[in-house]
Structure 1
């Protein structure tokens, strides 16, 4: 019983630390970076909310496509295998977990 309580307390503390602290949402700029993302979701989806909270982002008031698990496409003709998009330049501290304003690449 005690170990379950300790695990629950640890998860709650981690989530509280990851919750946005009243900082404004990141600015949305025109997408410029070609990215390969595992998925692209609406900024209001549960998956996006969970990842945003984990990296300390507050996406309140932002209504743009969000890329999850993204990496830059560095070679022309790179076979992404997932979703090829152009996004805002993601911040390094997001660790490739999330990218903002991701629009499909059309050739």
Structure 2
């Protein structure tokens, strides 16, 4: 049996693609946890910026894989065209920190 580099490369890339996590995006209409947030940045709970903000607020995050929004404002998606967000629009489980942070966020597509 002769080694075929093209077959090996194709198989390796297909396994890599299957193992790479994809970022889930939610239609705006499916955000049932409160108003959609427009956050200046959205990062994993383990990032340095998020860890610092959470530490200053005394917040302990149980799920270290969760996305956390920083510097967030609620937006409205009512009506045609919906709300506008020049940063990252997200649907978050916990928005009770006055816009400083929002916990358990999922990216939202405002056009859906």
TM-score (norm 2): 0.60
Query: CA RMSD, aligned part only?
Result: 1.9
Q: Is the 8 A contact 2:50 2:68 kept in 1?
A: yes
Contact 1:36 1:83 in 2 (8 A): yes
Match of 1:65 among 50, 64, 67: 67
Q: Is the 8 A contact 1:31 1:101 kept in 2?
A: no
- The answer to whether the Cα contact below 8 Å between 2:94 and 2:104 also exists between their aligned partners in 1 is no
Q: Provide, for residues 59-102 of structure 1, a one-character-per-residue CA deviation record: whole Å limited to 9, x for no partner.
A: 255321111101111343111111111111322xx221100111
CA shift in 2, pair 1:61/1:99, >3 Å: same
Is residue 31–residue 87 contact of structure 1 (8 Å, CA) maintained in 2? no
> Which ranges of structure 2 fall in alignment gaps of 5 or more residues?
1-30
Per residue, is there more strand in 1 or in 2? Answer: 2
Whether contact under 8 Å (2:39, 2:70) holds in the other structure is yes
SS at 2:76 equivalent:
coil
The equivalent of 1:24 in structure 2 is: none
Residue of structure 2 aligned with 1:90, choices 95, 98, 110: 95
Q: Judge conservation of contact 1:31–1:102 (CA < 8 Å) in 2.
A: no
Structure 1 runs of 4+ aligned residues shifted over 4 Å read none
Cα deviation code 1:6-47 (max 9, x no counterpart): xxxxxxxxxxxxxxxxxxxxxxxx962311100100000000
Give the superposition deviation at 1:55: 1.2
